[in-house]
Amino acid sequence: MGMLVETEDQGMLRDMLRRFVEKEMPRDRVKAWDRESRFPRDVHDKLVELGLTGLTVPEAYGGSGRNVVSTIIVIEELCARSMSVGCAYIQSVCYAGLNLTEVGSEAQKRELLPKVAENGLMFAYGFSEPDVGADIASVRTTAVRRGNEVEINGAKRFCSGAQIADYIYAIVRSGEPEARYKNLSLVLIPTDAPGLTFTPQETLGLKGGGTFDVSLDEVTVPVSNIVGGEEGWNQGWAKLAGPGLDIEKIEVAAMALGIARAAVDDAWEYAQQRVQYGKPICAIQSIRHMLAEAKTRLEACRLMTYTAARMVEEQRPATVETCMAKLFVCDTARDIVLQCQQVMGAYGYVGDFDMERYVRDILVMPILGGSSAIQRNNIANRLNLPK
């Protein structure tokens, strides 16, 4: 369906992923991962074996080259079945692979990119803090150079997947707070470093990788762990505000698209099987209209997500389009899922069906990766709307 035609390779990739999902991620297993908030490392390892964590790693470092559209296809297909598997994949291919490729030093690329492609190495983002959300330039976690080491003190919040990750990719204050954007650095903090304490946060959805409060008490890392090497000191904002942010917005759109697609598929199927008054409920006009509208909105979400992904892949300016995709797809996908829950009535609310999990997972999508309000600001500002 749709006007955006996938290449033959992309179509084969999607077909392969759907077979993988049915075999390795059956619904009963996914339910258990959600119930127990468990990350299935064995499934992640199988994605690595298929070469799927190499989709953002240049061939020189053991990957298959930077392929944004294929990466988004994988995210959509995995998240349509399990956020636990989908989020871990993003931690590997996007948080680690894309960021290292774009802003890592040559030494960091040589050391870590092969591990992304061959071992599924994962990063967790350490951006938010107890008093810092969208205003990243106000971070209070400090980093001080001491010879060949950097000492880090502070606290990070909403550090998703921190305990399954190999490193926390953290933004820190590396100078006077008054300088704001000019005194920020990015550092790679190994998750087994002494001085780190992880406190899990209970969440409504996104079970599996977990999200954590992380406290950093005299955590030391070598200077070589400054992202970009020594030259990266105090250059954190420039590195953070690069193309990686555009891709993060379409990652989240792809997650939301996957969940919404799964909800539409389940509601579509349910409406044909559920019989009331002697006929399937899909014969009832109000149900037909809800399903037709859900399919239509889903197609709009798909078009926006993949149009933005293609622009990023072709390295065209795409900040407005990625903000628009993040805003529209995440808000619309939430509405689609809630509408599909209505189609299933009480069965959309009970644990026997996956719909209640889709609802729990979709509710965070307009918040993740920059809230809908932030995206509206970004769009107005980028289109030079006077203040």
> What digits encode the pLDDT tens for the residues 5-30?
789 999 999 999 999 999 999 999 99
Shared domain check, 44 and 13: yes
Shared domain check, 271 and 373: yes
Query: Does residue 1 belong to any structural domain of this protein?
Result: no
From 84, 100, 121, the end of a domain falls on: 121
Shared domain check, 375 and 250: yes
Per-residue pLDDT of the chain (387 residues; tens, 9 = 90+): 445 778 999 999 999 999 999 999 999 999 999 999 999 999 999 999 999 999 999 999 999 999 999 999 999 999 999 999 999 999 999 999 999 999 999 999 999 999 999 999 999 999 999 998 878 889 999 999 999 999 999 999 999 999 999 999 999 999 988 888 999 999 999 999 999 999 999 999 999 888 999 999 999 999 999 999 999 999 999 888 665 778 889 999 999 999 999 999 999 999 999 999 999 999 999 999 999 999 999 999 999 999 999 999 999 999 999 999 999 999 999 999 999 999 999 999 999 999 999 999 999 999 998 999 999 999 999 999 999
Shared domain check, 129 and 117: no
Residue 243 pLDDT? 59
Q: What is the pLDDT of residues 224-272, one digit of tens each?
A: 999 999 999 999 998 886 657 788 899 999 999 999 999 999 999 999 9
Shared domain check, 230 and 250: no
Domain residues for the domain of 325 are 242-382
Query: Does residue 181 belong to any structural domain of this protein?
Result: yes
CATH number at residue 142: 2.40.110.10
Query: Does residue 3 belong to any structural domain of this protein?
Result: no
Q: What's the predicted TM-score (pTM) here? A: 0.96
Shared domain check, 151 and 104: no
Shared domain check, 366 and 279: yes
**Token pair 């003190």 is at which residue?**
153
Query: Does residue 334 belong to any structural domain of this protein?
Result: yes
Shared domain check, 364 and 250: yes
CATH number at residue 110: 1.10.540.10
Shared domain check, 254 and 378: yes
Residue 1 pLDDT? 44
Query: Does residue 159 belong to any structural domain of this protein?
Result: yes
Residue 242 pLDDT? 62
From 93, 121, 149, the end of a domain falls on: 121
Shared domain check, 262 and 312: yes
Shared domain check, 139 and 225: yes
CATH number at residue 273: 1.20.140.10
Query: Does residue 88 belong to any structural domain of this protein?
Result: yes
Task: Say if CB 92 and CB 45 are below 8 A apart.
Answer: no
Shared domain check, 304 and 249: yes
From 121, 136, 156, the end of a domain falls on: 121
Query: Does residue 81 belong to any structural domain of this protein?
Result: yes
Query: Does residue 295 belong to any structural domain of this protein?
Result: yes
